[in-house]
Structure 1
């Protein structure tokens, strides 16, 4: 796609996402990475408070795109073997039914998107590309010299990224709060977005560099840094698998047992049970698992028995041709053989 076409795609996606989409900035995840310049804040279909914040801080617009793309890619990476594989929709909203269904999948989407934004903003802060933030200097000159280490280097300052993510994504009234005894979709999404931001902090690590004569490591300089986003995604996937169903405020009756369950801010919560995702449902944007590749030898979620939902699977033989037994020939080229292999591929019926 040429530059003109990519820009047109960007503007089109910005226009088709309606304002009622609670997280319309997610559409930035599907814009072309080759677009040299994103449309201005006024050209994006953002909510009023998001547009106002974007206009005040237009230099953060590329990071909005980076955070959205990072989150969507990691969502699809973590669920690539599941019945629901974090598929994106060709029509708004981006994730289709799952974005507003109030299910465990909704919880993960909002958590990973909020985390992706924190990660992207914090990264440019640490790179020194912004005047409003930089490294975390609060730890400087701390530590224990007697134990042979001290804080130094450039610690990732996640506070600014967390603040911006919270300010940009959360849009509940000031007097609104996430109650422990009942949830609406909005308060559920806010809770899970905060859990995503907490995941960045929970997965941070301490890195150190040795100093001393001949590498003796007489003293170490240490700093705090964010984990690779794949580790954050894995952390959130574990929270997804242990997510908690909470009472829905719209329901007339709630079980007393549910009302008494404590909910930690790092836990993911949901209000509705998930569909099985086995069969295609166009109305809900559920793709189903027909035609998905499965692993006959696996016992996990990618196994043919689980992924195909008991419908069985088709098998076909694929022929692969690749270069092999390569040798360097003086002078100066590489000579290789063509090797062929035949592999079975299984797809769900």
Structure 2
């Protein structure tokens, strides 16, 4: 790496300078949000990993993993950006709209106290990391992995690929029933298993600081939600196939398991559903352990969320005063829900714009001027 490249990484990391207590660093140790403010094109070296630890972007064991495998860092940086994008897209119409994730790694209380929102962000962070790492494996940009090992089960039959249960004729759920046919495993499948292992080592390397049962319990919840996020990516794998044959006869198809082109948002959709059905948990006994009652796919939380209607810094609520809402909707984006019953202000704006444009001769356009009325609704 050139000295200029090292200097650029150092400069970017110095811009992220923060000072955290040990407990705060441990809370952030299972997230990668702070990396989203760095450049995906930065060259990561052992020195850059140490610098990232010194400014609070990585905790101790993460910095050690970074120094051992610096080639995974661009994927994790992009995953941090993905987490922010998917989260804000998923919650854009709700009272909590995930805007606070942009403050990473200086997270606000709702992402540190065991709420539903923390559960989603931790799971989404892990899901985005697995997705980006799996793509890096398939593209050959990571030394620790490459293409996925072909499954032992035979690919589904042509009739199964055309079944109504498939998303398209070329992409179906992997658990479709199969019979012997002219299919064969090939291509380069996404190695989600290796990607999940790398993400787990990076995101769950930190041990709970302190000996208290509360700290151990919170750590156990965070690790559970990380695992739920990784599993959401595994469940997003679909069967992708390519036809071979004369004149499009498709006499042979080569198939592989892939994540498709939808990006981490596919896992985000699964996790948003699980956010709505998240389970509240309490520690079992005094050991800080999770009660063995919950499915691995469930999201868990331990602190009830505020209603996010009014500003409350202690609980991480920004409130909805001044938020734009939809005056004709009864859903989450509707003024009744988003404004928490406080009412809203309707604003009307007249906009003049070109309209009814027509070509005159070869290269002249004549347009009329039209008036358009726009109404916006803003919460009191």
TM-score, with length taken from structure 1: 0.84
Deviation for aligned residue 1:333: 8.1
The equivalent residue for 1:156 is 190
RMSD: 3.4
**Correspondence 1:1-349 to 2 at 5 A:** 8=11, 10-16=13-19, 20-21=24-25, 22-23=27-28, 25-31=32-38, 36-37=42-43, 40-44=48-52, 45=56, 46-88=58-100, 93-139=105-151, 142-143=154-155, 146-171=180-205, 173=207, 184-227=217-260, 228=262, 229-248=264-283, 262-320=293-351, 324-325=355-356, 339-349=370-380
CA contact (8 A) 2:306 2:317 kept: no
Equivalent residue of 1:272, what SS?
coil
CA contact (8 A) 2:61 2:206 kept: no
Is the CA contact (8 Å cut-off) linking 2:187 and 2:255 kept in structure 1?
Answer: yes
CA 1:319–1:207 in 2, change beyond 3 Å: closer, same or farther?
farther
Q: Deviations over 1:292-316 (max 9, x none)?
A: 1111111111110000000000111
In structure 2, stretches of 5+ residues that fail to align are 158-178
Write the deviation string for residues 138-175 of structure 1: whole angstroms up to 9, x where unpaired.
3389547842322211110011210111101113559x
Answer with 210-219 or 103-112: which moved more.
210-219
Question: What is the rounded CA distance, in whole Å, between the counterparts of 2:194 and 2:98 in structure 1?
Answer: 28
Report how many aligned residue pairs link the two structures: 334
CA distance in 2 between counterparts of 1:209 and 1:90 reads 40
Further displaced range: 96-105 or 107-116: 96-105
Q: How far has the Cα of 1:327 moved from its partner?
A: 6.0
Q: What is the alpha-carbon distance in structure 1 between the residues aligned to residue 226 and residue 206 of structure 2?
A: 12
Q: Is the 8 A contact 2:115 2:301 kept in 1?
A: yes
Q: 1:218 to 1:326 in 2, by over 3 A?
A: farther
Q: Distance in 1 between matches of 2:97 and 2:202?
A: 27
Question: Is 1:100–1:185's contact at 8 Å kept on the other side of the alignment?
Answer: no
1:71–1:113 contact (8 Å) kept in structure 2: yes
Whole-Å separation in 1 of the counterparts to 2:68 and 2:192: 20
CA separation of 1:139 and 1:321: change in aligned 2, threshold 3 A: farther
**How does the TM-score come out when normalised to structure 2?**
0.77
Shift, 1:125, TM fit: 1.1
CA separation of 1:321/1:60 partners in 2, compared to 1, >3 Å: closer, same or farther?
farther
